[in-house]
Structure 1
Amino acid sequence: MEESCFHCALPVPREAPWKLFVAGKERVFCCPGCHGVAQAILKAGLEDYYRFRDTPAERPEPLALEGLALFDRPDVQAAFLRQEGEAAEVRLLLERIRCPACVWLNEQHLRRLPGVLEVAGDIAGHTLKVRFDPERIGLSAILRAVADLGYRAHPFDPAHRRRLMEDEKRRNGERLLFAGLIAMPVMHFSLATYLMPAAGELWVVIGRYTALIACLALLIYPGWDIFHGALRDLRRGRLGMDVPIALGLSLAFGASALATFMQEGEVYFDAIAMFVFFVLAARAFELRGRQAAARVLDRLARIEPRTARRLTEKGEEEVAVVDLSEGDRVLVAPGETVPADGVVIEGESAFDEALLSGESEPVARHPGEEVAGGAVNIAQPVVVEVRRLPRDSALGRIQALLMRAMESRPAAVALGDRAARLFVAGVFFIALAAFLWALHQAPSEALSRTIAVLIVTCPCALALAAPVALALGASRLARLGVIPLRMEALEALATARTVAFDKTGTLTRGETLEIHPLDEPEDAWAIACALERPFSHPIALAFRARDGHRLRAEAVRQVPGKGVTGEVAGRTYRLGRPDFALETADPRIEALEQSGHRVLVLAGDVPLAAFVLKEEMRPGAEELARRLKVQGIRHIALLSGDQPGRVEALARTLGIPEARGGMAPEDKLAWIRQRQQGGGQVIMVGDGVNDAPVLAAADASIALAEGTDLAQRASDFFLMKGDLASLAKARAVARKTRRIIAQNLTWALLYNLSMVPLAAMGFIPPWAAALGMSASSLGVVANAMRLRERQPRMSLIAALQP
């Protein structure tokens, strides 16, 4: 018999010299490539790979390693590398992955490289997220380390991932079609046997042998994944969900084959055929659900154009988007997508920004106004000056936020996994008890009952109850323009009975500023704009609209809840609340405050100017308060550092029962803590630097797109659009997701608790057990798929639906 390669299982040439001791035995290899890969695996201390894998590896092919040095060039890395302080992060797509052990091997191998800080593998997507120190290790060295193991890695490409997903769907479809076609004649012969029992007749014998061959084909091709999974779990020393299924199928096929050869006894070919077909159908449905959220990320990546038309002194040139730099001028024609965040400097046009803001109506942009990367020009040609690199644009931020959310692991997922593992162990005990009891009561039914118990159990439903619903819930939230950052907070968003809002920038937005000079010689507008230029909160945006960039501020420092200080032309200035900017009260300021609007004061050695901020209510604020009350929110509070009178007036307009003004950040935090000490959960909605501690302390927190980066990092959800009514819709989605998870878990538990005893007592034959088990998994996934209900186009993701 021809010997096969220990690494790739291909035939080994005669007198092959490539040998190694692996797992206590001398192993032979077919080529230097497989021998070198095995040496690298052993040298890294990862010999367990050969125990865990359930399929042979691919034979390594020569790789042009000298070309990997290109990935260390900054201009090449700009397209896919993300800097986080001194560390860099890249998402790699792995090729030649045959089983989960392959991902595990790459993950463990890269973690041992000096300079690699973190590695997280995604088995479903065949990707690795790698954080590393560029000063200690280059990206080319990481790619070379993957190549040393016989795999290939390259920066994540959504188009390539889409092809891989399509291949996986095609393979699943082929197996399902094969199982359906083969199962049909098996069921026909079984039905004839049930209706016209005639043991010993020739057509019955022919039918049994036909079913035997057909079921063998079913187990070898479409059903082999079940046995692969069971073997993998057993090698790892744990009882996975495939173990009882594989054991039940093995017992059923072995007993049926014996009965066929002996021409006596009961056969279970119908149960085998039905089971394999319906399990494949359930898993195909599950695959559809799992890929829904992954497609969201890929669609986001495909929005960005590949090229842009850059304007230079020599004229127009077409360049890759990754080659754009801050300050470049690009021409955007009608129908084209803005390649990066920038400012319109020539021309004016209307832009479809529904991909980002959720606004269905086109938005007019004039010279001097900002336009987001990803917006589509629908009217006239314009020239845009690039202000942010593509990777730092709004689309790049959304991609990073969604990936962070998908990596989180809510408690419901872990609960389902733990319950499934414990249940599998219990099933074996019940199956053994049923077999021993049946031997005493009804020996002829002992095997049938044991097979029915093993097959009817559905730990898959327990394990699928939460993950599919959560993935689809995240996708649905994204379609609403609410980007989930931490899915663990979904439970609190659905169940909390208290909601607290910040005022300025959250329920209101500053639209216009009026200046009231207090000291004529000073250029108050220019000084105030210079002080607010580094910030992105609503008040800073109001100043930015008047910013002529004439003066430059240094040593700018923000005092949360009060204002900013800085130096302009060598002099120190303060801008903010009157009690912050002024040393003593000024009657002119007090008179302005009587108008009911917010007043900011600019002062140096003396008061220079007062700015009256005229705020308007943010769209959807009134509808949000009303909807939250309908959804069962018992208490709504408005917490603000603004003057109590203005806070109370807004609260009365919105119907908010509790309004607290003049609150410092620590006061807001104390309010949240007090509510939580009574056992309540709190949702906090804010946008500013002073809101960040409160957002972090709340059970579920939501930051606005216009808010500060600090507030967004401290939050659990990120509102991309300005309409606050989306928050009520997001809470409705969270409640529906939680309800579906509860329904799935309840159904899975009730099904197993009722069907297992019935199967053990002989009331459920194996064929009915196969139907019930598959129906249980299908029901769980089908129930979760209700979250894919289509919505009107109102967000980034909705605009991307095919």
Structure 2
Amino acid sequence: MNQHVQMTDEACFHCGQEIPEGTHFTAIISGKPRSMCCPGCKAVAETIAAGGLEHYYKHRTGDSFIAPELTGKDLPSNVQAELQLYDNENIQKEFVIDASDTEKEATLVIEGITCAACVWLLEHHLVKQDGVAQASVNLTNHRARIRWNNDEISLSSIMGAIYKIGYQGHPYHPDKEEQLLEQEKKRAIRRLGLAGLGMMQVMMLSIALYAGAFQGIEAKYAQFLRWASLIIATPVVLYSARPFFIAAFRDLKSRSLSMDVPVSIAIGGAYLASVWATFTASGETYFDSVTMFTFFLLIGRYLEMQARHRTGRAGNALMNLLPTSAIKLNNDTEELIPATELVPGDIVIIKPGHTVPSDGYILSGHTSIDESALTGEYLPVSRQEGDHIIGGTINVENPIKLKVSEVGANTKLSAIVRLLDRAHEEKPTVAKVADKVASYFVAAVLVTATVVSYIWWQIEPKDAFWITLSVLVVTCPCALSLATPTALTAATGTLRQAGLLITRGHVLESLASATHVVFDKTGTLTEGNLTLKKTVPLADLDSPKVLQIAAALEAHSEHPIAKAFHRYKETNAADVNVTVGQGLEGKVDGKIYRIGKPEYASQLCHQALSNTDAPDNHGQWLLLCDQNAPVAWFSLNDQLRKDAKLTIKRLKSIGITTEILTGDSSAAVQEVSSALDIDKTTANVSPQEKLSYIQKLQEQGAKVVMVGDGINDIPVLAGAQTSIAMGSATDLAKTNADAVLISSELAKLADAVLLARKTRVIIKENLGWSLFYNITALPLAATGFIAPYMAAIGMSASSLVVVGNALRLTKLIRRKPVK
């Protein structure tokens, strides 16, 4: 026969699981003996207690992840051997940097984190280790940044300390973090799916009960429907709604009241009352309300989780810019190796179209490098022998030899990832109004319900339970809990239909209080594509003819400048030679021409011309020459977005200050600023300087909305109170932004600010109505004038009023489209 392990009703103090009968493991926590379910939990608990970290148990929530075979003071030999591998410098180069002469810093992904208490425990435990100077754990993406003195403690010892308290540390790698995020997503989907299925089934049964109450139904059938509803609703409450109960229990232990407390009271109280009514065949059941409320709350939690996961994946996508392989040169022999095996000093060959595998210096050759992935500027830059280039950029034209200078965690790309993580850690959070109101309101309701129950128990004991239930149901803060999310959901949906996709919940609140909108220039206020602005013929040839000559030459180049001429191509050029970073030379109709920078092109006709000789100092000028004289000047420029001027005007009209913050240093920046009447312009700034500028602005009290489109905007997008990426932006910029302007219509920004302000007003109206309803209904329920079914109707009606008021946010002000 198979043996069945009997379980006791007592739960393990450490992991919360039931303790098998006959098990007698205990650990002394905070001076008291605590029961444990197994030796693993006992070992972990004793390790936590020995470190003086018992406060962990006051803060924790959620399911603890414990791997007994990896816990305790002595790790198994195979685990120790595996951890010691991470002391190898070749392995460390992918995720460890030299913070100083003696200190190193690593980024780890921690597996097993479930709540803020886990973060508290990890940080306090790690900093107690000799040699660890700093340890910070990010609850959002479960990444830990640890700095230690390598002469005092090894990385393997630090990772062993993490294992000893029941967690697992892994070197940060995009694939590993994706697995952790996927696990959390699957758990949330299972809870949400079960709640949705249960809600649909219970609602179907409830319709029959409601109809029977008016048209008549036999008692045995009504009781059958109640029992069926009970069976379906029970797993919804015990599994899907479990996170609410756990959070409420945590809040009660910490003597604070959040929305999880009233939500748990509403779900738990209505469920228990319904169970009682089903067993006794008396009273009312509320299984439909229980399952419906659980389902809609879980949808909100799921959307919040999705937004957090988008943040976590941002650094992963950024690191994926680096190629997986590189062509290493060994004694004039080319060898294809994994890029992770490169070390400083190696020489690699980078062919046209290939991505640079690491930071380094050009040993030989000259080419153009597309740095748009890092700088956001679309024009490739000329690079020659001795110049430094960055990993993740793209070689455009000629093959070059590169001497590797930095690899792994020391590359500039990795530095941007760390900057991004720091920006997320410093990102301000917006407290929810409903939580603040509910914390006081719920306390008052609980006290009132207790008093009412006691009084009615003295007056009429048989009515005490139902009247108390009426008090709890009629004052259940359903409308209060829906006041904020329904308004936010309605406004978010409206903006999504208008072309502005909001990816984080705080956006509308932040937009409503915004004082500054800061724009990147290229690709945001401008189209991001070079166009031919002006043609100035200098010889007997007319504009169409000189354009045909220029187009014939530029057809042999894939440079972004060349694309501005492709539409004018009607003839072909022969014997075309490309001078990287300068221009092109070739024959058109048997005659030699040059086009490019004025200094380069004018050499053909033995003149010395430069940009100062151009017709004006606006835009970027190219010169076309033949062997005798200059033929034509061409002005190239990036066009303003068609609605940019209207957008700036509308933002100013509603009291918003507008600024340009760009890495571009050309004269075009001031041209754009003047054309749009921008309040302030700051040019030629790096990603780090952009972030510092925004942070300084926010320290001065400004509420900043940052609008950008390039990877160089990622840190500042993460650091601003509200960030918006253009629809044409890079995927990474979209991932890190709080909202994405899918339509790329800038005028929607003013619409969003106005709608956000209206949303703030409606949230206040909803909160006011919810409180008014509850305060009015409470005396009636307490005096026995409202039966439980009337309380349920009143609760639903109050929720409908809140939802109906929120529906006012489903329309934008109609305005004429920009032509």
**Aligned counterpart, 2:632:** none
Task: Report if the CA contact (8 A) 1:499-1:682 is conserved.
Answer: no
* Equivalent residue in structure 1 for 2:111, among 95, 113, 120: 95
Give 3-state SS (helix, strand or coil) of 1:61's partner.
helix
Partner of 1:572: none
* Root-mean-square deviation over aligned CA pairs: 6.0
Paired with 1:294 and 1:270, the residues of 2 have a C-alpha distance of 36
Q: Please state how far the C-alpha of 1:124 moved relative to its aligned partner.
A: 3.6
Alignment equivalent of 1:202, drawn from 202, 217, 220: 220
Who is 2:329 aligned against? 311
Q: Distance in 1 between matches of 2:722 and 2:300?
A: 32
Using the alignment, how far apart are the partners of 1:779 and 1:131 within structure 2? 52
Deviation at 1:41? Answer: 0.4
Which range moves more in the overlay, 334-343 or 241-250? 334-343
Residues 686, 704 of structure 1: 8 Å contact kept = no
Question: Pick from 66, 81, 88: which aligns with 2:96?
Answer: 81
1:175-226 deviation line (CA, Å, top 9, x unaligned): 2222222223321221111112246621101011111222222111111111
Q: Does 1:766 align with 2:788?
A: no
Q: Does the C-alpha gap of structure 1 residues 229 and 703 become closer, same or farther in structure 2, counting only changes over 3 Å?
A: closer
Question: What letter is aligned with 1:284?
Answer: Y
3-state SS of paired residue (2:328): strand
Counterpart CA distance in 2 for 1:174 and 1:637 is 46
Match of 2:516 in 1: 496
Q: Distance in 1 between matches of 2:431 and 2:39?
A: 46
**Which amino acid in 2 is paired with 1:22?**
I
What SS class does the counterpart of residue 118 from structure 1 fall into?
Answer: strand
Q: Is the 8 A contact 1:286 1:468 kept in 2?
A: no
Q: How does 1:256-267 map to 2 (within 5 A)?
A: 256-267=274-285
Q: Alignment partner of 1:283: what SS?
A: helix
The amino acid across from 1:211 in the alignment is: S
CA shift for structure 1 position 254 = 1.9
Distance 1:183 1:458 in 2: 21
Q: Which moved more, 1:239-248 or 1:338-347?
A: 338-347
Letter in 1 for 2:475: V
**How far apart are residue 277 of structure 1 and its match?**
1.8
Q: Which moved more, 1:227-236 or 1:17-26?
A: 17-26
The question of 1:273 aligning with 2:291 is answered yes
TM-superposed deviation, 1:93: 1.2
1:654 maps onto 2:662 in alignment: no
Q: Which has the higher contact order (CA 8 A, sep 6+)?
A: 1
Shift of 1:47: 1.3
Q: 1:13 to 1:251 in 2, by over 3 A?
A: closer
User: Is 1:454 the equivalent of 2:480?
Assistant: no
CA distance in 2, matches of 1:78, 1:279: 44
CA shift digits 1:210-253 (9 cap, x unpaired):
11222222111111111111112222221122111111112111
**C-alpha separation between the residues in 1 aligned to 2:407 and 2:486?**
40
Give the Cα–Cα distance (whole angstroms) in 2 for the partners of residues 778 and 144 of structure 1: 56
8 Å Cα contact 1:420/1:463 also seen in 2: no
User: Map of 1:743-782 to 2, 5 A cutoff?
Assistant: 745-758=760-773, 761=777, 766=792, 769=795
Q: Confirm or deny that 1:47 pairs with 2:54.
A: yes
Give matches, 1:305-704, under 5 Å.
305-313=323-331, 315-332=333-350, 336-342=354-360, 354-358=372-376, 363=380, 368=385, 372-376=390-394, 383-410=401-428, 413-416=429-432, 420-430=435-445, 447-459=469-481, 462=484, 494-496=514-516, 626=645, 629-633=648-652, 654=674, 684-685=682-683, 687=685, 698=697
Q: Secondary structure in 2 aligned to 1:21?
A: strand
What is the deviation of 1:22? 2.2
Instruction: Report the alpha carbon displacement of residue 51 of structure 1 after superposing the two structures with TM.
Output: 3.6
1:214 to 226, 232, 243: 232
The 2-side partners of 1:225 and 1:13 are apart by 25
| Correspondence for 1:602 | none
Stretch deviating more after TM superposition (314-323 or 232-241): 314-323
8 Å contact from structure 1 (residues 205, 260) kept in 2: yes
User: Which whole-Å CA distance do the structure 1 matches of 2:232 and 2:24 have between them?
Assistant: 43
Aligned pairs, number: 645
1:255 correspondence with 2:262:
no
Change (3 A) 1:309 1:59: same
Classify 1:250/1:143 alpha carbon distance in 2 versus 1 (closer, same or farther; 3 Å): same
Offset, 1:391: 3.4
In the alignment, the residues of structure 1 paired with residue 357 and residue 281 of structure 2 have an alpha-carbon distance, to the nearest angstrom, of 73
> Structure 1 regions of 5+ residues with no counterpart?
474-478, 502-544, 547-591, 598-615, 640-645, 659-680, 787-802
| Map of 1:588 onto structure 2 | none
Distance in 2 separating the partners of 1:132 and 1:703:
36
> Which residue type is aligned with residue 750 of structure 1?
E
**2:37 is the counterpart of 1:21:** no
Selected match of 1:7 from 10, 14, 34:
14
**C-alpha displacement of 1:333:** 5.1
1:195/1:18 Cα in 2 relative to 1: closer, same or farther (>3 Å)? closer
C-alpha change, 1:132 and 1:351, in structure 2 (3 Å) is same
Q: Deviations along 1:719-747, whole A, 9 cap, x unmatched?
A: 999x99x9998998987776676555444
Task: Look up the equivalent residue of 2:515 and give its one-letter code.
Answer: T
Contact 1:705/1:718 (<8 A) preserved? no
Name the structure 1 match of 2:166: 150
Match of 1:575 in 2: none
Residues 685, 702 of structure 1: 8 Å contact kept? no
Change in Cα spacing, 1:629 to 1:373, as seen in structure 2 (3 Å) is same
Tell me the amino acid that sits aligned with residue 34 of structure 1.
C
Q: TM-score w.r.t. structure 2 length?
A: 0.63
For normalisation by structure 1, the TM-score amounts to 0.64
**Post-superposition shift, 1:299?**
1.3
CA contact (8 A) 1:230 1:240 kept: yes
Q: Return closer, same or farther for 1:145/1:497 CA change in 2, 3 Å cut-off.
A: closer
What's the CA shift for 1:12? Answer: 6.7
Q: Distance in 2 between matches of 1:199 and 1:717?
A: 56
Aligned 1:784-799 pairs, distance under 5 A: none
Q: Partner of 1:61 in structure 2?
A: 69
In structure 1, what is the Cα distance between the partners aligned to 2:306 and 2:660? 42
| Pick aligned residue for 2:87 from 72, 75, 91 | 72
1:687–1:704 Cα contact (<8 Å) kept: no
Greater CA deviation, 267-276 or 727-736? 727-736
Cα deviation for residue 46 of structure 1 reads: 1.4
For 1:248 and 1:393, the matched residues in 2 are separated by: 53
CA shift for structure 1 position 330 = 1.9
Supply the AA of the counterpart residue of 2:81: E
2:197 maps to 181
The aligned residue for residue 240 of structure 1 is 258
Question: For residues 126 and 779 of structure 1, what CA distance do their matches in structure 2 show?
Answer: 39
Tell me how far apart the structure 2 counterparts of residues 778 and 306 of structure 1 sit (CA, whole Å).
Answer: 54
What's the counterpart of residue 569 of structure 2? none
Partner of 1:299: 317
**Identical-pair percentage:** 25
User: In structure 2, what is the Cα distance between the partners aligned to 1:397 and 1:283?
Assistant: 32
Amino acid at match of 2:34: R
Shift of the 311–716 alpha-carbon distance from structure 1 to 2, 3 Å rule, reads farther
Find the aligned partners of 1:348 and 1:119 in 2 and give their Cα distance: 44
| C-alpha contact 1:621 1:654 (8 A) present in aligned 2 | no
Q: Mean alpha-carbon deviation: is it higher for 321-330 or for 204-213?
A: 321-330
Quick one: distance in 2 between partners of 1:269 and 1:717? 40
- The verdict on how the C-alpha distance between 1:112 and 1:772 changes in structure 2, with shifts beyond 3 A counting, is farther
